Amino acid sequence: MSEHRHEHDRGPHRVGQVKEVTSLANPIVKDLKALAQKKTRDETKTFMAEGLKLVIDALELGWAIRTLVYAKAAKGKPHVEQVAAKTFARGGLVLEVSEKVMSAITRRDNPQMVVGVFEQRYTPLKDLRPGTGETYVALDRVRDPGNLGTIIRTADAAGASGVILVGDTTDPFSLETVRATMGSVFAMPVTKASVADFLRWKKEAGVKVVATHLAGAVDYRTIDYKGRPVVLLMGNEQAGIPDELAQAADALARIPQAGRADSLNLAIATGVMLFEARRHLLSLDGSE
Ligand code: SAM
């Protein structure tokens, strides 16, 4: 290889040094594996996202990257070089690892080629000031990571402005949830709130809370979603919405059902509600 070519190949990495890691016993690998535990994610306030496209999107949206990990086979690919250069420029660490290490970090047999570790981000409740045409989803004690991820993705697709996690919920930054969001975790603001704070905010924010309830008396298709900003309040997978929240709602909506199923899956019910509440705002050409 010529001097020049060699120099060119190293180009994007000039500001930093790629660390090669092949041993599972390497302490950095142990730290990355530990991100599978909520305790570690809470302590470090970081999380892991898999896939080159997700990492590119996250960087474009200004998320702070701590570590970029790529598999040896991805070395030299232009997009990988670009994200590596961006990671260095933002003070992050870049690791080139064996497939075995990648599998261990992501806990997958066929891991992605690229993984990023990002700083977590929550939007404070007090910063949410909904305006006309805005829709939020509030989730009461959501338990299932797949449901939460799917809801974040669906809220993004429907043009909602944010997801509010009320009470003790599953972690939006777990690997499983992030996977299910398909990248929308980087686009959809997520807020945490206690029941008391949520109810206080509801009064001040001038929103219409439409709670969904299996005993709801109102057909969800007859509700006015146009007047005020709307918060769709969805209940816990097992218990549904507690009385305290149901009583504070402006409407108790029900999706009519046929067949033998007792209820809809939480993420499906949220999708149905979101696209009804935003029906007047969505069109095929994407204009609102
Ligand atoms: N056993 C729970 C109950 O009695 O409420 C069922 C909860 S359901 C699996 C989870 C959430 O999805 C509900 O709290 C509600 O927010 C929403 N949901 C599911 N089916 C619905 C329907 N037909 N109408 C309105 N909301 C529904």
Pocket-testing residue among 150, 266, 273, ligand 1, by greatest number of atoms within 8 A of Cβ? 266
Position 164 confidence tier, pLDDT thresholds 50, 70, 90 = very high
Joined tokens for residue 106: 């992501």
Q: What is the DSSP string of 221-236?
A: GGS--SSS-EEEEE-B
Pocket-testing residue among 170, 212, 222, 272, ligand 1, by greatest number of atoms within 8 A of Cβ? 212
Residues with C-beta less than 6 Å from any ligand 1 atom: 212-214, 216, 234-235, 237-238, 240-241, 254-255, 257, 263-264, 266, 269
The Cα 178–Cα 50 span in angstroms is 8
DSSP-assigned letter for residue 258: -
How many A from CA of 245 to the centre of ligand 1?
A: 14
How many A from CA of 45 to the centre of ligand 1?
A: 32
Per-residue pLDDT of 24-62, as tens digits, reads 999 999 999 999 999 999 999 999 999 999 999 999 999
Tell me the domain boundaries of the chain: 17-119, 125-278
Residue 50: beta bridge partners?
115
The Cα 102–Cα 22 span in angstroms is 9
How many A from CA of 113 to the centre of ligand 1?
A: 38
The amino acid present at 42, given as its one-letter code, is D
How many A from CA of 234 to the centre of ligand 1?
A: 7
| pLDDT for 5 beyond 90 | no
> Quick one: which atom of ligand 1 is closest to the CA of 253?
25
| Token pair 């070089």 in the structure block, residue | 81
Q: Whose CA is nearest to atom 13 of ligand 1?
A: 235
Q: Which residues contact 71 (CB under 8 A, 6 or more apart)?
A: 96, 97, 98, 99, 102, 111, 113, 114
How many A from CA of 100 to the centre of ligand 1?
A: 42
**Among candidate residues 38, 39, 63, the one with its CA nearest the CA of residue 49:** 63
Phi, psi at residue 187, to the nearest 5°? -105, -25
Give the model's pLDDT for residue 4. Answer: 39
| pLDDT for 3 beyond 70 | no
| Token pair 């990990």 in the structure block, residue | 69
| Token pair 């998320």 in the structure block, residue | 63
Position 288 confidence tier, pLDDT thresholds 50, 70, 90 = low
DSSP-assigned letter for residue 139: E
| pLDDT for 6 beyond 90 | no
The Cα 100–Cα 108 span in angstroms is 10
| pLDDT for 15 beyond 90 | no
Q: Whose CA is nearest to atom 22 of ligand 1?
A: 255
| pLDDT for 14 beyond 70 | no
Residue 70: beta bridge partners?
96, 114
| pLDDT for 148 beyond 50 | yes
Q: Which fold has domain 17-119?
A: 60s Ribosomal Protein L30; Chain: A; (3.30.1330)
How many A from CA of 211 to the centre of ligand 1?
A: 10
Q: Whose CA is nearest to atom 19 of ligand 1?
A: 264
Give the model's pLDDT for residue 11. Answer: 44
Q: Is 165 helix (H, G, I), strand (E, B) or coil?
A: strand
Mean local confidence (pLDDT), 11-31 = 82
**Among candidate residues 164, 168, 16, the one with its CA nearest the CA of residue 83:** 16
Query: Please, what is the Cα angle at 286 between 284 and 288, to 5 degrees?
Result: 110
Q: In what order do the strands lie in the sheet with 46-50?
A: 19-21, 93-97, 65-71, 114-119, 46-50
- Tell me the pTM: 0.93
Is the separation of the CB atoms in 28 and 95 below 8 Å?
Answer: yes
How many A from CA of 98 to the centre of ligand 1?
A: 45
How many A from CA of 247 to the centre of ligand 1?
A: 16
> Quick one: which atom of ligand 1 is closest to the CA of 233?
16
Tell me the pLDDT of the chain averaged across its residues: 93
Q: Whose CA is nearest to atom 25 of ligand 1?
A: 254
Per-residue pLDDT of 179-236, as tens digits, reads 999 999 999 999 999 999 999 999 999 999 999 999 988 999 999 999 999 999 999 9
Q: Whose CA is nearest to atom 9 of ligand 1?
A: 237
Q: Which fold has domain 125-278?
A: Alpha/beta knot (3.40.1280)
Q: What is the DSSP string of 57-114?
A: HHHHTTPPEEEEEEEGGGTT-HHHHHHHHHHHHTT-EEEEE-HHHHHHHHT-SS--SE
Per-residue pLDDT of 86-108, as tens digits, reads 999 999 999 999 999 999 999 99
